[in-house]
Structure 1
Amino acid sequence: MKITIVQGAFYPVPPILGGAVEKIYFKLGQEFADLGHEVTHISKTHPSFVNKETINGVSHIRVKGFSTPKSLLILKFYDLVYTLRTLKHIDSDIVVSNTFWLPIFFRNKTKGKIYVSVERRPKWQMKFYTNVWKFRACSPMIFDLVKERLKPKYHNKVSYIPNPVPFQIKDFKTDKTNSILFVGRLDKEKGVHILIDAFNSIPDPISKNWTLDIVGPWELAEGGGGEAYYESLKSKNGNVNFAGPIYDQDALSKFYFESKIFCYPIQDGTGDAGPVAPREAMSYGCATVLSNHDCFNEYARDEINCLRFNQSSEKQTEQLSEQLIRLMTDLQLREKISLNGRKIFDDFSTAKIAKMFIDDFQTVLNE
């Protein structure tokens, strides 16, 4: 079959500037091609890339996009302009949409059936997606939320396919260090401030030989919380290392490989739907601590392959600190959580998830 993947207006592919969804579909596109399908991937232009090229069997077409603006209204306008630019490049069987406007403006059914990949909490736009053939939810939580936004007669159009772990495991020939790792955007909804406060509250006899590594962008244009939030994080002091954004997969994987503990303390109100970073960390054997947010429920098993804390509690900092202390001081517990977490890689391999997508695409084509 002919498959076209349409990425958003703000990040290029390959994902040299980050973007979890871009990273996922860059790998999925190659898996679709390996399975014998004709794949076109449309994304934003970038000075490092030509506008048309083929990478590992996938035809890449790049159209002019934008830097992420501060205003949500301007962001939607930019996304509209970008989406209209992509329309002339689409001629396919299945059109995987990762943009806000494409399901509204793409109406030519002879050039593809719209397949919406829902990677964040769905909002009011769902009721305007009347010509969509299938809504793919990236987690059970999103599956339920999409159905809530649709009339019951459209519920049969909703499917659930999880996000994959979009890389192959590598051996960096080094030992794990006493490091607690966070990877993600430095934003309040990610709970980075809660993590730093929890780490800094750990008694010195326990924490003195440990570091907290924070990897991710803080600038608004890259999805971060901005300079004021970043400065507030740095002012907390402690043995905290701000590594900045790391988009090279090998360099990022090395952080996972060398860290003993990973923490992803997202907060209530976050737009996270199926975060990839915890799965990446667990695949590399990081003993992982997660909040109780529903987006983790498809794979997170408390006290088995991770530890969890209640982000809705007024004492969440204390709860998080207690869970970190348990992993820092109890080697047997840490090794158990690490070993069970490694199984995530097989459960969510890109090859396995790609076949689930192809089966779902085929159901659309059979209608």
Structure 2
Amino acid sequence: MRITIVMGHADLMPPDSGDSTARSWNLLATEFAKQGHEVTILSRRWRGTPAHELREGVRHIRVPGFDRTWRMGKSMWRDFRWSGRTMRAIPDSDVTVTVGGLFVPLRLGYRHGRYGRIVVAPAGLSRKRFRLLKRVDSVLAISSPVKAAIASVMPKLTPKIHVVGFPIDWQLLSKAKPSVEAEDPVTIGYLGRLHPEKGTDVLVQALEQLQSMCLSQPWRVVFSKARESSTGSTTNETYATAVERRLIALLGPDRFVLRQAPRTTERLVATYYEIDVFCYPSLQRTREIYSLAVVEAMASGAVPVVSDLPFVPDLIENGVNGEIFDPRAPEAADRLARTLARLVTDRAYRATMSEAARQSVYRFDVPLLASRLLADFATLALATK
């Protein structure tokens, strides 16, 4: 099968950062090629990268793109220009997958022909944009909230929407790690931006209460701080510095570690490997549609303690393979502290939850997810147009 994947106007492939979407489609493209398919990725050309390259069995075509911008009008104009550039470069295909963006799937939907079947993988929750996706053949929603948002404005698309999540290298992440001995500290981890909207205030308050409990089991905290975008403000950096100083004062430098989020697979795996309890207290109910970090942490055996974001039920059954809490509820920090305390002190409970978390995300292992997508693509390609 000839499969073409068209990335967004700012996406670099292979990705050079922690972009979850780009990382996921790079994994899938490589696996598609391993399974014998002819795969092409169109992405942004960047300084030092060739316009054409064959890498791990995947053909890369790179065309000039644009930086990301938070200004809607400018972003739409860049996306429109990107669609013109990429459509001229798309090779004859059986299936063309568009990742993010609006104008590429919109224009492809009216032309089909040599582009084959059109599959859209939306990158957000813009209902206005979904209204324009009338002529696509399949939609890959990253989570149930995305599927519901699309179906609410385009009911006729509902049978074509599939919730797929993001792929992970489960085999690599799930390698057994030594169990925590009684005298070893249990590590509570967080990976993401240090910002109030990510729930870090609630987490810090919970850690302060946990410290006051004087638990018999030693514990420590590791924060992997995601880099701010180029539009990140000085205010955000000031806040992050304040969080760091607060936790160092609380726990001391031996029990609190702050580092930059890993940018290589090896460092990422090493980061998850040392975490026993992964806390994700985000408050962004209307903006967060998925968290690859939560899934990767679960695959590594870290017990997830996650806020009640709309996508979370796709991944976690409360009390079975993780803990879900409401960070906006009264005494949220106290409830989170008590949840963390049990996971720190109850080794058997933590071990049971850890194994359940690990096994529950096996379905996202790259070969399994890629095979399911390829089966769907094959059905689409054979269908009468």
With normalisation by structure 1, the TM-score equals 0.90
Alignment of structure 1 residues 91-110 onto 2, 5 Å: 91=91, 92-101=93-102, 102-106=104-108, 107-110=110-113
Is residue 112 of structure 2 the alignment partner of residue 131 of structure 1?
no
Call closer, same or farther: CA 1:347–1:184 in 2, change over 3 Å.
same
Call closer, same or farther: CA 1:321–1:33 in 2, change over 3 Å.
same
Gaps of 5+ in 1: none
Q: Work out which of the two has the higher radius of gyration on C-alpha atoms and give 1 or 2.
A: 2
Alignment of structure 1 residues 98-247 onto 2, 5 Å: 98-101=99-102, 102-106=104-108, 107-112=110-115, 113-150=117-154, 152-166=155-169, 168-169=171-172, 171=175, 178-204=186-212, 205-206=214-215, 209-221=218-230, 226-236=233-243, 237-239=246-248, 240-247=256-263
Give the alignment's Cα RMSD to 1 decimal. Answer: 2.5
How far the C-alpha of 1:70 sits from its partner, in A, is: 4.3
After superposition, give the CA deviation of every residue in 1:96-152 in whole Å (9 maximum; x if it has no partner).
1112221223332113222111343242101112221111212233222221120x3
The range that moved more, 206-215 or 77-86, is: 206-215
1:311 maps to 327
2:14 maps to 14
Partners of 2:178 and 2:296 in 1: CA distance: 18
How far the C-alpha of 1:71 sits from its partner, in A, is: 3.0
After superposition, give the CA deviation of every residue in 1:231-286 in whole Å (9 maximum; x if it has no partner).
21321311443312322011011010111111112224342223211111111111
After superposition, give the CA deviation of every residue in 1:16-43 in whole Å (9 maximum; x if it has no partner).
1121011111010111112221110112
Alignment of structure 1 residues 197-346 onto 2, 5 Å: 197-204=205-212, 205-206=214-215, 209-221=218-230, 226-236=233-243, 237-239=246-248, 240-346=256-362
How far the C-alpha of 1:161 sits from its partner, in A, is: 2.1
Call closer, same or farther: CA 1:156–1:99 in 2, change over 3 Å.
same
How far the C-alpha of 1:330 sits from its partner, in A, is: 1.8
Call closer, same or farther: CA 1:52–1:301 in 2, change over 3 Å.
same
Call closer, same or farther: CA 1:319–1:135 in 2, change over 3 Å.
same
Partners of 1:11 and 1:17 in 2: CA distance: 10
Call closer, same or farther: CA 1:54–1:327 in 2, change over 3 Å.
same
Determine if contact 2:190/2:278 at 8 Å carries over to the other structure: yes
After superposition, give the CA deviation of every residue in 1:290-340 in whole Å (9 maximum; x if it has no partner).
112220212201111111111342433332222222212222221111111
The range that moved more, 44-53 or 334-343, is: 44-53
Partners of 1:164 and 1:318 in 2: CA distance: 34
Determine if contact 2:11/2:44 at 8 Å carries over to the other structure: yes
How far the C-alpha of 1:187 sits from its partner, in A, is: 4.5
The range that moved more, 75-84 or 131-140, is: 75-84
SS of 1:29's partner is helix
How far the C-alpha of 1:188 sits from its partner, in A, is: 4.3
1:74 maps to 74
With normalisation by structure 2, the TM-score equals 0.86
Determine if contact 1:290/1:307 at 8 Å carries over to the other structure: yes
After superposition, give the CA deviation of every residue in 1:66-85 in whole Å (9 maximum; x if it has no partner).
33334344333333333332
Amino acid at match of 1:125: R
Determine if contact 2:278/2:297 at 8 Å carries over to the other structure: yes
Aligned residues: 364
Partners of 1:296 and 1:344 in 2: CA distance: 13
Identity percentage of aligned residues = 25
The range that moved more, 182-191 or 41-50, is: 182-191
